[in-house]
A = this chain, B = another copy of it.
Amino acid sequence: MADQKIPQVTAKRLPLYYRYLEKLHAIGKQRVSSAALAEALQIDPATIRRDFSYLGELGKKGYGYNVNYLLQFLRDFLRQDEVTNVVLIGVGNLGTALLRYNFYRSHNTKIVAGFDIDEGKIGMDIDGVPVYSMNRLKEVLELHSVEVAILTVPVSAAQSTTDQLVNAGIRGILNFTPARLNVPSHIRIHHIDLTVELQTLIYFLKNFPTNESKGEQNG
């Protein structure tokens, strides 16, 4: 298995490929070329071929890629057949929206519980997801074998909540707060900083009115 050393950027593009291949499969497409993928996904065809080449020789010269085969390969590689349970901490506006976002339907990632400290929210059921008190954190994580948390608490509570998560055995955090979280080195954190994304977009618009620098297409 060529599993060993996929570049970070490639790992982030694989779900994109997967999603598009699903679409192709759905409409009955049998084959696809890197050029066609490139057109649809707005990624350079050479980059796409290189990405796939990390996983093995998945295509055939003069033909392209077999949609079914590639789809199945990526499904295995990305372990799309395993459901991954996650929890969400902080059932505010954004938290509630994400609970309702339903990652599950399309991506085998399931939010199995929400947590909050607001008594008024504890006990609620949001689109089938129960909201618990924080002191049931460890219990629920163990029950559902949860290793990943989505953090949507106010920034003031971010670090203390993170400490609780680490304590309860979490391994990955998707952090929507602007706080830079302090965690042991074995914990993985991905930040999504909505304000920074918006500010950066505005910065580039104001300073480079014409789009001369192609610029990355992701947060």
Contact = CB atoms under 8 A, between A and B. Distances in A.
Contacts of A86: 198, 202
Contact of A148 (B172, B178, B202): B202
Contacts of A40: 180
Interface residues of A, number: 68
B200 A101 contact: no
Contacts of A51: none
Contact of A147 (B147, B180, B205, B219): B205
Contacts of A211: 185-188
Contacts of A215: 8, 188
A50 interface: no
B198 A109 contact: yes
A187 B195 CA distance: 20
A218 interface: yes
